[in-house]
Structures are given as structure tokens and as C-alpha cells.
Structure 1
Amino acid sequence: MALIQASLFASVLVALLGSTWWSVSDYAEAQLRAEVKTEMASLLQAASDGTLREQINQRVAVMPIGPEYYLLTDASGQRLAGNLSYRPTRVGWHTVALQGALGEDNSDADSVHLYAAHLADGRWVVAGSDNRTVVELSELMSSRFLEIGIPAIVLVLLIGGFGGLLYLRRIDRLGAMAERALEEQSTMVIADPGKGDEFDRLATRLNQMLSRMRVLMDGMRQVSNDIAHDLRTPLTRMRQRMEVCLERHDDEVHLREGMQQSIIDIDHLLAVFRALLRIASVESRHRRAGFGAVALSSVFESIAETYRPVAEDLGQHFDAMIQPGLCVLGDLALLTQVMANLIENALHHTPTGSRVQLDLFATPDGIVGRVSDSGPGIPVEARDHVLRRFVRLDSSRATPGSGLGLALVAAVADLHGIRLVLGDGAPGLVVELAFPASELAPPAHIYDLRHCAVRPSVI
């Protein structure tokens, strides 16, 4: 890259030198010819006064070998005065080699610009000037460009090489930090942003990627451990039941009951694996490609209509305050599943007579959905813990479940960029979903609801 930059710089420098030299040479030649024309006008005036020959002799006597040249010939072309050995044949400008001038010249000139005029009496008068000023100016410009250009090209090479070395060193340092971060998985941090340049921005993005990897690796490790511990118990219980059935194979009723209970256990295990696969699918963020406008108010209203009878059957009070016309960008099925999970948790983990409240309202910062209850709630130190897979509090061990409901809620919230907060209802638990303003669709009352997914079915 340094060589390419130096080559480009040298090409630009040569082009600049050529264009400048060409322009200055044209200007100097134009000035030279203007001076010759002025001198020719003076000679023509002297010809009308009859003093042309004396004027030419005086000028030659002062500068016999240039840079100015004169010639006066008779009608046959014989030289009468001047310092040129040249025979004009036509009127106008002529450019001849310097050898055409008399005497010896030590300048850098190589040609003479002449202007010839034909007088009325048949004589020819010629005035001219050599191009020594143009040549000397060109040489001066060339030497100055070389004096400046060569050091500039060397400087570009040095700066390019040094800059490339610095870039390579920083890239190597980033690579070494990345390898160290992967080896030390407890930290997995490359570097803290320092100068704010592109490398620090790259390090920040790599840190975000490593943080995401750490979350996924921790989740995978947790899932492996949880599967090994939580699923081992039902599998062991199912194996023992089958052994008992084999020992009592003559008891058809007992054998049938054992098989039916084993089928129930297997269905429970399959449901757990389906939930795990669903969480993994959400966390992979592949579902985000199918996001669309979702009528969130309709989702909450459908959830309220579905679970209000369930709450009444359980002897609980269910209320809902839903602001109409609110839309967000997201996955309809996943958002419906989230609300269903939260309502079911509130209904199943609160005693009879408890109150469950479902709210949806808009704020200056976005949309907030809230599920609150008046049950026992969740201790502050356990609120982050319950969002992990297979986590169940001691108070919930007696109720059916696998501990994956809130884990799915957390995964869907992360996918949608929703801020999930578990708070204290004093008494009870408050689960708040804050939809960011960047994920909002236009309000339903001004938005064409044909583009919103409405009236969802609870899954």
C-alpha cells in the first residue's frame, strides 16, 4: 500500500510538473514574441525615418551574441547589417536553430524566434530573440520539482510504511487479545475503547460479539447441566415404573396404568424439548427477519378475553386496562406466547382470591405492557435467576411446570429489544415490558390495520 501510494503521488507530481512546465513555457514564449513584436515596431519606425541601418548596428554593438538578434538585407537577400546569417523568404514568424546566429553563445538557448518584415523598397528586416529565458526557467522549475518531489516521494514511502506497520501492529494486538479472550472465557474482553478510532470501534463491536457468545455459551452450559439434572428424575421415575410393570406383568390393570403414566411423562419431556428448541430458535435471532406490524392492543385484548374465564374458575380477580390503537414491529406468535406465559404464571402461582391486572399504555418513550398480581411475588435476589432455564422457586415445586416459561419470555424480549423488568407489587409481582420507540409501528388509529396482524390466537 505504501508503494502504491508513493507511485500515485509520483504520478500526480509528474503530471503537475508537466502541466506547469507547459503552461509556463507557453507564457514565456508569448512574452518573448510580444517583446519581439515591440522591437519590430521600433525598427519599422526607424525605417520610415531612414535610420534603420544605424539603429540595427547600435543594437548589435551592445549585444553582438544575443539574446536579441537583428538582420537587414537588400532585395536579393544579401546581409547589410545585423548578427544573423539567415535569409528570410516570407513575412511572419520563423523559429530557427541557434546556429543561425553569428558569434558564439554560452547560454542554454537552442532556438531563435524571428519575425520578418518586407519593406517597400524591397529590403528585408528581421528581429528576434533566443529562448534562453524559457530554457533556463524550465530547468529551474525541473530542478526545484526534483528537489521537492524526490524527498516528498521518500517521505510518502516512509509515512506509508510506518503507518502500515502501526496498522499491522494494532491488528496483531487485536488478534492476540481476541485469542486471549477466547482462552480466558471468564472475561472474554478484548480492549476498552481508548482513542475512539476505527480500531477501538472494531474492538467495541468484537466485545459485543464476545459478550453475546458468552451469553450463548453460558446458556448452552446451563441447558446441558439442567437437562442432566432436571430430566434425569422423570426418566428415572419412568424406568422404575416400567420395571414394576414388568415384575407385575400378570396385573393388566396395573400394567395399563403404568403405561398411561409413562406416556404422560414422555409427553411432558417432549414438551420440555419443544420449549428448549423454541427458546434456541428465538435466541438465534432468525425470527427477526419475519417481523411485521402487530396490533399490540388486539393481542392484549385477546389474552384478556381468553384468560378472564380461567381466572374466574380459579377464584381470582382479573382486570385489564388496555389503551387501544397501539402497534409495534415484531412477531405476533412470540408476543402472544409471552403474554400467555406471564398471565399463566400469575394465575398458577398466586392463591385463590388474588388479583391479576393486565395493562397496556403508551408513554413518551414508547409502549409499556404490564402484568401484576397480589401473590407472594419473587424475592429481589431471585428475580434475575428465574429468567434462566429450568429455574423454579421452592414455592413453585408443587405446581406443574418445567421452569422454561420465563426463560422464553426473556428470550423473546431480547429478540424484540424489549426491556424486561421484574418489580415488587407490594404485595405481589409486577412484570413490565417496555417496548422501545425504535420498534413502534404507526398508531393503529392512523395506521392501516390491514398491515397489522390482529386477533391472535393464544398458543
Structure 2
Amino acid sequence: MATETLRLSTGARLSAIFAALLVGAFLMAGTITFFATARTVENAIRERIALEMQAMEFEIGAEGFAGLVEAIRSRANQPGALGYRLESHDGSIEIDNLRHSRPQPGWTRVEAGADGEQHGAQTLLVLSRLLPDGSLLSIAGNLQQAEAVRRAVLLALGWSGALALLIGLGAAAFVTRRALARMAAVADAVRRFAAGDHAVRAAHAGTRAPDDIDAIADGVNSMLDSVATLAASVRRVSVAVAHDLRTPLSHMRQQLETVGDPDASGAEREAAVSGAQTAIDDVMRTFDAILSRSEIESGTAPNSFETLDLALLAATIANAYSADIEAGGRRLFSCTATPLRVQGNRYLLARAIANLLENAARHTPTGTDIGIEVFAHGATVCLSVADNGPGIPESERERALEPFYRLDRSRGSTGSGLGLAIVAAIARQHRATLVLDDAHPGLRVMLGFGARPSVTS
């Protein structure tokens, strides 16, 4: 109920805003039109008066004062005529239908009675001018016409504004409800996803050009894809952890049963205790590997980047592991003499190199040659660990980077099954490429670093 109220409130608010903007724009345009129209009508009256004054000046010049009086009386009787007031040089009023005292020369506005004051006062625009014979001629135009135009425009604007308001409210309500319905569909997809339907995604509006809501839907879908991938990864890891821990825990149970067996000899009990300790160590190593990978993925592992010599770091790690690798019946070759610098975290890169060497030693037979090399390929600094063992089939190389994934031949080997997964996590932290390739024979694992990898926080 609260959600529906919020939606309606948001829709009403947006509709009101859209309508207010529309009406505001309409009122602004209407105000400009109102004053411009009134000004145009007044200018037309002013121009008519000026032309009439020119005509009367010509008339007095051609026909004299008597001709002027006759012309004015003739014009004053015509429909829609202007108003006239003619005062002779001696002060006598020859013609006066303005109902006003003597105007000042030039343009003035006066209030005068209309039609014998039957219709009350009216505003006149008056032009007064002294003629060559000393008489004063005033010609007036009634501004009621301009006022009538103003009222008509105002009335039209009022009705148009009301209609625009209704149309604006309707259009805004339609557009807003449509947008909110699409947003509600996105929210519904998120709720269904949270309820367990991990296949649901937010839908697009259709075949038209994508808009902002489509961009939101794309962002939500990207997030849902990531969450679904993480959820699948968690399920896969949970199953793998349960499977991998079952064996050492079963061994531990067997050893503890031997310890508790009254018929077991002292030597058998000592061996059982030692076996239980080994099983516990296996479990601890698995949990340590899980915790390490989680820290790297989440960015909580030590994450200070520096400029370092990757070739020197690889040579140092190889030297530390060479004795153990050779003791296991394998040979380690290092070709990392040339200094090659990258931006990276020393601790994490050392962990990645160590994992690659341990992985090569653990999953190859006795007599295998293992090589580690750091070299430049264009602007990329590459770290390669290769062996001539059985390798990994091409169809399984992508899955080999998943946590706890093991080849069938490696099921009985030691290790947590997280070696390459941790390397992949470290590569992502460094924005580095990680490629598993064929060494002909064997496996080659290649890490590629840019000249200055981006530092992620």
C-alpha cells in the first residue's frame, strides 16, 4: 500500500510539475502576445491620426480655413470617424466633439465623455497642432478599440491557457504513468529475482530508440547477471568444498576411531594421531586458500601497488622453490635475467608465481621440466610458467580457472583446488590477462601486464 501511495504521489508530483512548466511557458508567451498586440493596435491608431493631420494641413493650405471646416464636418459624419476639435485664431470653437478642454500641442491622452456621456468616459489619443493661420486643430482616436483587442486577446489567452492546462495535465499524467509502469516492471523483476527466479530480467520498452529507463533496465540486468553468476559460483564452491572436505574428514574420523580402539597398539595409535593431524592440516589449507581468494576478490588483501622488477621477483621465487621441485624429481629452468618493471602488488604477484610453480610441480609426473620466464612483448610484460607434462585439454582450460575444479587424473592429488583460481583473482586485481595455452607438450600459463596497470581500490 505504501509503495502504491508513493507511486501515485510521484506521478501526481511529476504531472503537476510538467503542467506548471507548460502553463508557465504559455503564460509567458501569452503575456508577450498580449502587450505586443495592444501596442500594434495603438500604433495603427496613432499612424491614422498622423496621416489625418497631414491631410488637414494640406486642406487648409489649399482651401483655407473655411475649406478646412467643411472638410472636418464632412469627415466627422462618416462611420468610424476620428474626433476633431478646431479652435480659430481668435479663440472661438468651430468644431468640438472631443468633450474636453483645450489640449496642449503634441500627443496627449485624455479622458472624455463619449456620445454625450451616454457610455461614460473613454480614453482618447489626441494629436494637437497649431496651423499656419494660428488656429489649433486637435484630432483624436478612440483607444477603446485597443482595449477591446486587449480584452479579446486576454479572453482567448484565458481559454487557451485553461485548455493547455488540461492537455498538459493529461499528457503529463499519461507519460508519467507510462514511465512509472515501466519502472514498476523493473522493480518487479528485482523482487522476483530476490524471491528466487534468477532467470528473470527487466524488459525493454520495445523496438523504439532506447531511453533513460532502458538504460536503468540495462544497469539492473547487468547487476542481476553479476549476482546470478556470484550465486552460481557460491553454489558451485559450496558443493566443491563439501566434496573436497569429505575425504580428509572421513580420514580423520577413521584415525580417531583407531585412537579410541582398545585393541589398537601404541604404534597404530601414534600413526592414527599423525594421520588425523595431516587431515586437519589439509582442511586448514583448504580454508586458508578459500579465505585468501576471498580477500583478493574483495580487495581486502594487501593492495598497495608499486613499481617493481617482475623478472627479479620471479627469479627470487623460482630460486626459493627450486630445491623442493628438484627434490620431487622435476627440473626447474629460469630465464629471467633482463629487468622488466610493472606496476603491481609485490605480495600478490609473489603469491601468483608461487601458485603457478606449485601447480606445475603437483600435477606433472616425475622427470617433468618446468620453465619460468619473464619477457616483453611490445608494451606488455609477460610472465610465463610452462611444463612438458600432460597439460590440460583445451575444452577444460576455462573451467580449470574455477575454484575447486580438478581434472579426473588430479582427483587423488593433494592441494586445495584453488591454485589457478587464486592466480585468476590476482590477475583481475592487476587488470592483467591470464591465458592457458598448449606448450607442445604440456601446459603454458601466461600472465600479461600493461606498462602501468590501473590501481583498483
Contact 2:109–2:126 (Cα < 8 Å) also in 1: yes
Change (3 A) 1:146 1:362: farther
- Asked whether the 8 Å contact 2:193–2:200 carries over to 1, the reply is yes
Aligned match for 1:392, one of 406, 409, 424: 406
Deviation at 1:341, TM superposition (A): 0.8
Q: 1:25, 1:134 within 8 Å by CA — same for their partners in 2?
A: yes
Alignment of 1:249-264 (within 5 A): 259=273, 261-264=275-278
- Written as runs of structure 1 = structure 2, the 5 A alignment for 1:29-428 is 29-44=42-57, 51-52=64-65, 54-64=67-77, 66-73=80-87, 79-88=93-102, 90-97=104-111, 99-100=113-114, 110-117=122-129, 123-139=135-151, 141-142=153-154, 145=157, 149-182=161-194, 185=197, 187-191=199-203, 195=207, 196-247=210-261, 259=273, 261-285=275-299, 290=303, 292-295=305-308, 297-298=310-311, 299-308=313-322, 310-313=324-327, 314-320=329-335, 324-328=339-343, 331-363=345-377, 368-428=382-442
Check the 8 A contact 1:351/1:375 in 2, yes or no: yes
Aligned residue in 1 for 2:9 = none
Deviation at residue 441 of structure 1 after TM alignment: 1.4
Alignment partners' CA distance in 2, 1:364 and 1:83: 102
Q: CA RMSD in A?
A: 4.0
Deviations 1:36-89 (A, max 9, x none): 344445545656677345325423422436452110135796532142221125
Q: Deviations over 1:398-442 (max 9, x none)?
A: 54312121222233334444443323222101223345x6xx518
> Which residue in 2 is equivalent to 1:446?
none
Aligned to 1:455: none
Q: TM-score, normalised by structure 2?
A: 0.78
Cα distance per residue 1:139-191 (max 9 Å; x no partner): 55446545655544433333322222222232233334444445565635444
- Name the count of aligned residue pairs: 437
> How many angstroms does 1:9 deviate by?
0.8
Structure 1: gaps spanning 5 or more residues: 444-450, 452-459
Once residues 39 and 263 of structure 2 are traced to their aligned partners in structure 1, the CA distance between those partners, rounded to angstroms, is 116
| Partner in structure 2 of residue 457 of structure 1 | none
Say which SS state the counterpart of residue 217 (structure 1) adopts.
helix
* Worse-matched range after superposition: 266-275 or 13-22: 266-275
Report the 3-state secondary structure (helix = DSSP H, G, I; strand = E; otherwise coil) of the residue aligned with 1:370: strand
TM-score (norm 1): 0.78
Question: Secondary structure of the residue that 2:177 maps to in structure 1?
Answer: helix
SS in structure 1 of the partner of residue 104 of structure 2? coil
Q: Is the contact between residue 43 and residue 52 of structure 1 (CA under 8 Å) also seen in structure 2?
A: no
Write the distance in 2 (CA, Å) between the matches of 1:139 and 1:421.
Answer: 82
How has the CA–CA distance of structure 1 residues 442 and 23 changed in structure 2, closer, same or farther, with 3 Å as cutoff? same
Deviation, 1:345, is: 0.9
Distance verdict in 2 for CA 1:351–1:24, change over 3 Å: same
Contact 1:77 1:87 in 2 (8 A): no
Code of the aligned partner of 2:239 = N
- Aligned-residue identity in percent: 27
Structure 2 SS opposite 1:128: strand
Q: 1:188 to 1:129 in 2, by over 3 A?
A: closer
Alignment check: 8 A CA contact 2:83 2:97 kept: yes
Query: What is the CA distance between 1:8 and its match in structure 2?
Result: 1.2
CA–CA distance in structure 2, aligned partners of residues 311 and 38 of structure 1 = 115
1:448 match: none
Q: Which amino acid aligns with 2:349?
A: L
Question: Do the aligned partners of residues 272 and 207 (structure 1) sit closer, same or farther apart at CA in structure 2, a change above 3 Å counting?
Answer: same
Determine the C-alpha separation between the residues in 2 that align with 1:192 and 1:49.
Answer: 84
Code of the residue aligned with 1:92 in structure 2: it is G
| TM-fit CA distance, 1:348 | 2.7
Moved more, 299-308 or 15-24: 299-308
For the 8 Å contact 1:118–1:125, the answer to whether it is kept is yes
